[in-house]
Amino acid sequence: MDIGIGLPNTVPGTEAHTLVDWARRAEEAGFSTLGTIGRLVYPGYEELIALTAAAVVTSRIRLTTSVLLGPLHTNTALLAKQAATLDRISEGRLVLGIGLGARGDDYTTSGLPTKGRGDRLSEQLAEMRRIWSGEERGFAGAIGPSPVRDGGPPLIVGGSSERSLRRAARLGDGWIMTAGTPEMFAGQGPAADAAWREAGRPGKPRKLSLAYYALGPDARARADAYLLDYYGFMGEVAHQVAEAAAVGPEMVRSYATGFAEAGCDELIFVPTASTPDQLDLLAEAIA
Q: Determine contact, residues 88/147, Cβ cutoff 8 Å.
A: yes
Q: Determine contact, residues 213/271, Cβ cutoff 8 Å.
A: yes
Instruction: Give the span between the Cα atoms of 47 and 64, in whole angstroms.
Output: 9
List, in sequence order, the alpha helices (H) in the chain.
16-29, 47-56, 76-89, 104-109, 117-132, 162-171, 182-198, 219-230, 236-243, 249-261, 276-286
- What secondary structure letter does DSSP report for 246? B
Q: Determine contact, residues 42/10, Cβ cutoff 8 Å.
A: yes
Instruction: Give the span between the Cα atoms of 140 and 132, in whole angstroms.
Output: 15
Give the side-chain half-sphere CA count within 13 A for 173: 12
What pLDDT was estimated at residue 246? 98
What pLDDT was estimated at residue 52? 98
What pLDDT was estimated at residue 200? 98
- How far, CA to CA in Å, does 59 sit from each of 45, 96, 274, 280, 287? 21, 18, 22, 20, 22
First-to-last CA distance in the chain?
A: 13
What pLDDT was estimated at residue 107? 97
Nearest to 252 by CA among 217, 218, 284, 207: 284
User: Which structural domain range is residue 178 located in?
Assistant: 2-286
pLDDT < 50 regions, the chain: none
pTM of the prediction? 0.97
What pLDDT was estimated at residue 129? 98
Q: Tens digits of per-residue pLDDT, 69-96?
A: 999 999 999 999 999 999 999 999 999 9
Q: How many residues does the chain have?
A: 287
Q: For the domain that residue 86 is a member of, what is the CATH number?
A: 3.20.20.30
Number of domains in the chain: 1
What pLDDT was estimated at residue 66? 98
